[in-house]
Structure 1
């Protein structure tokens, strides 16, 4: 199957459901519903199943917040982090940032004393909780808060007042944002479109028509098997070169 635009997928699904023809995804309420289901299906499928084509170098986003100098923002389309490094301006080298589960991270930073001259009090904006981080050394550990922020155990104020996005360097999986436009083409290989179309069509039949479509469900199962084979094949070819903490956004 060739790659398809969002409009062509919506038209295909509407035709299968014996619904009205449309020239735009916004022509009818039903076409809008179908387009939204395609988007939700895309987001679900390709954020829960690793796609080798989407794995590569990543950078985080800086906040520039002096009240939260040890915070970085996760890109909205980030699916997972395999490994992450941060540049130490002291010697110009990248060093590993090791992932810690939230509870372990909290226990670590609670060991820092507020009376020490080498720490800074940080108040998390969402919870109001105050804790201490090292302010004269490179970050060594990080955790994820609110599925939105990467928080480290320290930063070096001699070089930067806050963590810098330009100094992050990582490897992970990014998912291209889904755009609700007629001519939008999802950035996936052509052989994955049958899976996206079948999953979307099956969901539309159940959600909109209140009935199952056995044929599309069978196609969907075959598509998932094919995708898992691609995942296995790619890992075998890579030889699992890149290993490390594998943070995945839930």
Structure 2
């Protein structure tokens, strides 16, 4: 069963024998409990490495035709695990894998390009007040990418006959996204239903310590039990595989 933030706060306040509230903003104590829930939520998400953090997303383009092979990792992305690019249309895509290269290897590869060739271009990037020039090919879709600061992504090439820059809608990335938590009554934390008991018991145990200066052994025992259960059941889809074999169809 899932709970809204006010429902979690009300259950915790009830266990603390505190005054009833209709909103998390009704009293300093209810707001303090809501913040405890928020803190415990991020602890759980980080500790269990929940798949709810993982999703597909698109890169942020440079939006500058003078920097056609430059893109950025969106601000709410914790890490980029893999990336694909679409070599066809948006309505009939053909996704292929892009390969990550360590920065030095990428730089060595790009340094081998000659700007005297018509299929080679260059762009300047300012980083910490310093200007750097990077080369790229302009006649083929990208195959490699690299980063010097974990947020700025450089690609080896783009096809100027297809687009003026690399396009966000043609990227498909997979990685961890920073979860949101809103201090509002109706907010529902992004957890599976079975993980809400862990959030409730962890928040209850911490609220007793922080707000009542006493421990709640019963809540702590339930928290440990639910943490073990959450580890076993954190994937909604069984990832052990099966005996069936599947034929893959698509472009070669």
Instruction: Give the shorter-chain TM-score range.
Output: 0.7 to 0.9
Equivalent position to 1:205, from 208, 222, 225: 208
Which consecutive residues of structure 1, in runs of 5 or more, have no partner in the other structure?
242-250
Evaluate the alpha carbon distance shift between residue 150 and residue 205 of structure 1 in structure 2; reply closer, same or farther with a 3 A threshold: farther
Q: Distance in 1 between matches of 2:197 and 2:210?
A: 20
Tell me whether 1:142 sits opposite 2:145 in the alignment.
Answer: yes
In the TM superposition, residue 151 of structure 1 has moved relative to its aligned partner by 0.8
Q: Distance in 2 between matches of 1:145 and 1:32?
A: 42
Aligned twin of 2:166: 163
Deviations 1:11-54 (A, max 9, x none): 12222233332211112223222222222322332245344566
Tell me whether 1:214 sits opposite 2:217 in the alignment.
Answer: yes
Evaluate the alpha carbon distance shift between residue 237 and residue 35 of structure 1 in structure 2; reply closer, same or farther with a 3 A threshold: farther
Secondary structure of 1:236 counterpart = coil
Aligned twin of 1:99: 100
Equivalent position to 2:154, from 152, 155, 164: 152
Q: Distance in 1 between matches of 2:105 and 2:129?
A: 17
Deviations 1:118-160 (A, max 9, x none): 242342556746252424243333356766x351333415033
Secondary structure of 1:208 counterpart = helix
In the TM superposition, residue 201 of structure 1 has moved relative to its aligned partner by 2.1
Q: TM-score, length-normalised on structure 1?
A: 0.73
Aligned twin of 2:74: 74
Deviations 1:57-96 (A, max 9, x none): 43334342456541133362x4555532012369x74221
Would the aligned equivalents of 1:84 and 1:97 in 2 still touch at CA under 8 Å? yes
Secondary structure of 1:228 counterpart = helix
In the TM superposition, residue 194 of structure 1 has moved relative to its aligned partner by 0.2
Aligned twin of 2:250: none
Q: TM-score, length-normalised on structure 2?
A: 0.73
Aligned twin of 1:109: 107
Show the 5 A alignment for 1:16-55: 16-52=15-51
Evaluate the alpha carbon distance shift between residue 35 and residue 113 of structure 1 in structure 2; reply closer, same or farther with a 3 A threshold: same
Evaluate the alpha carbon distance shift between residue 152 and residue 229 of structure 1 in structure 2; reply closer, same or farther with a 3 A threshold: same
Q: Distance in 2 between matches of 1:191 and 1:87?
A: 37
Q: Say what the alpha-carbon RMSD is for the aligned residues.
A: 3.5
Equivalent position to 2:196, from 193, 201, 205: 193
Evaluate the alpha carbon distance shift between residue 30 and residue 161 of structure 1 in structure 2; reply closer, same or farther with a 3 A threshold: farther
Show the 5 A alignment for 1:1-16: 2-16=1-15
Would the aligned equivalents of 2:37 and 2:203 in 1 still touch at CA under 8 Å? yes
Which consecutive residues of structure 2, in runs of 5 or more, have no partner in the other structure?
246-252
Deviates more, 1:157-166 or 1:8-17: 157-166
Would the aligned equivalents of 1:123 and 1:129 in 2 still touch at CA under 8 Å? yes
Deviates more, 1:187-196 or 1:59-68: 59-68
In the TM superposition, residue 3 of structure 1 has moved relative to its aligned partner by 1.4
